Amino acid sequence: VQLVESGGGLVQAGGSLRLSCEASGFTFEDYAMCWFRQAPGKEREAVSCVSIGNSMTYYGDSVKARFTISSDNAKNMVFLQMNSLKLEDTAVYSCAAGENVLGRWASRWFLVPGGMKYWGKGTLVTVSS
């Protein structure tokens, strides 16, 4: 199993970045794919998730209307388009996969890092002023 992130980097506040995560080694359509982030001195938080099986999505309050999650199921990839970036978006962003059960989405089980089965190594996003 592998989750490989790419697309991080340095960007000025107000700019945009697109993160990519390529998954392999598991049945992509059976999983929820999430982006978590962890800033220095802070806890890891779920940024956005997508249920691959039925395309339901979740966004954290701090990124709503700025970030968009999407997937290319044919390529086993998930993306995070990040617009209007703020200084507080600076963090290591990690792709994660959790086994999905249809009907459980409303419980937001995916918000808990322990609910994810597989993790990527992360990619650093730095937003400068």
pLDDT at 29: 95
Under DSSP, the state recorded for 93 is E
Residue 86 near residue 92, CB atoms below 8 Å: no
Q: How many CB atoms lie within 10 A of CB 62?
A: 13
CB distance 105 to 56 below 8 Å: yes
Q: Which of 124, 117, 128 is nearest to 2 (CA)?
A: 117
Q: For the segment 100-118, what is each residue's pLDDT rounded down to a tens digit?
A: 887 889 889 999 999 999 9
Average pLDDT along the chain, 129 residues, taken 10 residues at a time: 97 98 97 97 96 94 97 97 98 97 87 95 97
- Provide the pLDDT for residue 111: 93
What does the pLDDT read at residue 92? 98
Cα 100 to Cα 124: distance, rounded to the nearest angstrom:
27
Give the whole-angstrom CA distance, residue 34 versus residue 67. Answer: 13
The total number of residues written for the chain in this structure: 129
Instruction: Please give the pLDDT value at position 69.
Output: 98
How far does Cα 104 stand from its chain's mean position?
19
- What pLDDT score does 13 carry? 98
What pLDDT is stored for residue 123 in this prediction? 98
**In the prediction, which pLDDT does 5 show?**
97
